[in-house]
């Protein structure tokens, strides 16, 4: 773990994310990039009518001052390095450019909404970052005094399309020295599998992934409830789920299960692009 990106909009939620990033960075000797994206567009910057270049410079200077004050926090003092970066446009694909340039391993974002990530997956900034990011995104709901990732749950349908996301999740767990708990949620109805069939399915998946790991078969009335109930039963610190990039979480398992897990989870959720 070398570099963590924290998108900053100066809100309470972005400070929650910054605190978690500080905790992770201190434990792993990583640096933090505090990334702020201005609400400017090319027309505003280049227009000669009603908007002048000096106004753009003024807004950028104000943002520089504000982000400098925002990262001047006691909990960041022992972090290896904190780098403020301001992008002129709110283009979320640029997060990938910053990540690639600096070799970032992880993005940590705060969420809005008092009951989960309800706001995130309806056209919000976090949704756009999740959909565009090529690296894992950890979404934080509440302030966490001492973030830890000792128990990491990874849930998916164990289909071939999730092999890449699984590899990224395992790499993440290894980096943070977390214990990885694989879980297959077995539900009533047409998708029900016998215990043996479920084990066979996951074993075949793990064989293709080239790893040997213990898997948990958890029975519940829905996949969403199963993921949440299993994670709470083992006191999980993070829940990992795959995402189809620009399609977001809507195709995780089926329908909007991934979104529902993120919406209702009290536990931080990490997404891994398929």
* Per-residue pLDDT reduced to its tens digit, 77-132: 999 999 999 887 666 677 888 999 999 999 998 876 444 444 444 346 666 777 77
pLDDT of residue 127: 65
Query: With the C-alpha atoms ordered 190, 195, 197, 200, is the resulting torsion angle positive or negative?
Result: positive
Q: What is the pLDDT of residues 4-32, one digit of tens each?
A: 999 998 888 899 999 999 999 999 999 99
In this model, does residue 134 exceed pLDDT 70?
yes
Q: Are 243 and 271 contacting, i.e. CB atoms less than 8 angstroms apart?
A: yes
In this model, does residue 240 exceed pLDDT 90?
yes
Helices (H), the chain: 12-28, 42-46, 53-70, 94-102, 125-132, 163-175, 195-209, 223-233, 257-264
Regarding whether 209 and 172 lie in a shared domain, the answer is yes
Quote the domain boundaries for residue 24: 1-143
Residue after which a domain boundary falls, among 116, 143, 170: 143
Residue after which a domain boundary falls, among 143, 168, 184: 143
Regarding whether 203 and 175 lie in a shared domain, the answer is yes
Q: Is 228 left (phi over 0), alpha (psi -120 to 50) or beta?
A: alpha
Mean pLDDT across 224-251: 82
Regarding whether 242 and 162 lie in a shared domain, the answer is yes
In this model, does residue 186 exceed pLDDT 50?
yes
C-alpha gyration radius of the chain: 20
Percent of the chain at pLDDT exceeding 90: 49
C-alpha span between 178 and 270 (Å, rounded): 14
Number of structural domains (the chain) is 2
């Amino acid at each position: 773990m070398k570099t963590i990106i924290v998108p900053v909009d100066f809100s309470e939620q972005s400070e929650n994310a910054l605190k978690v990033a500080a905790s992770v960075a201190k434990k792993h000797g990583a640096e933090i990039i505090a990334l702020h994206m201005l609400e400017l567009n090319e027309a505003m910057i280049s227009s000669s009518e009603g908007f002048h270049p000096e106004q753009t410079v003024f807004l950028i200077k104000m943002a520089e001052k504000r982000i400098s004050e925002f990262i001047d926090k006691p909990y960041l003092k022992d972090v290896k390095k904190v780098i403020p970066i301001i992008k002129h446009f709110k283009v979320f694909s640029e997060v990938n450019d910053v990540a690639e340039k600096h070799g970032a391993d992880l993005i940590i974002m705060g969420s809005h909404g008092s009951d989960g990530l309800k706001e995130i997956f309806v056209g919000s900034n976090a949704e756009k970052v999740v959909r565009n990011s090529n690296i894992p995104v950890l979404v934080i709901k509440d302030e966490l005094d001492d973030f830890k990732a000792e128990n990491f749950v990874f849930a998916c349908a164990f289909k071939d399309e999730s092999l890449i996301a699984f590899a990224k999740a395992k790499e993440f767990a290894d980096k943070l020295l977390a214990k990885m708990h694989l879980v297959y949620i077995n539900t009533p109805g047409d998708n029900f599998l016998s215990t043996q069939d479920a084990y066979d399915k996951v074993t075949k998946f793990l064989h293709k992934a080239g790893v040997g790991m213990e898997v948990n078969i958890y029975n519940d009335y829905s996949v969403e409830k199963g993921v949440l109930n299993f994670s709470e039963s083992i006191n999980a610190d993070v829940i990992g789920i795959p995402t189809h990039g620009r399609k977001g979480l809507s195709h995780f398992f089926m329908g909007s299960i991934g979104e529902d897990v993120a919406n209702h989870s009290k536990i931080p959720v990490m997404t891994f692009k398929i």
